[in-house]
Amino acid sequence: MNALDLLKQDHDKVRDLLTQLVNTTEQAGKKRPELLAKIEKELHVHTQIEEEIFYPAFVKAAKNKQDEKLYHEAREEHRAVENMVMPDLKNTDPGGVEFSGRAKVLKELVEHHASEEEEEMFEHARKLISKSELEQLGEEMEARKKQLLAS
Ligand SMILES: [Fe+2]
Ligand SMILES: [Fe+2]
| Residue 96 CA to ligand 1 centre (angstroms) | 29
- pTM, to two decimals: 0.95
Question: What share of the chain has pLDDT > 70, as a percent?
Answer: 100
Q: How far is CA 39 from CA 9, 24, 78, 94, 105, in A?
A: 14, 14, 14, 15, 14
CB-side neighbour CA atoms (13 Å) of 95:
2
Which is nearest to 82 in space by CA: 140, 39, 22?
39
Mean predicted confidence (pLDDT) in 128-138: 98
Are 133 and 86 a contacting pair, CB within 8 Å?
Answer: no
| Residue 60 CA to ligand 1 centre (angstroms) | 17
Tell me the domain boundaries of the chain.
3-150
Q: What is the pLDDT of residues 25-69, one digit of tens each?
A: 888 778 999 999 999 999 999 999 999 999 999 999 999 999 999
Cα 47 versus chain centre, distance = 5
Sign of CA dihedral 16, 18, 20, 22: negative
Whose atoms come closest to the Cα of 122: which ligand? 2
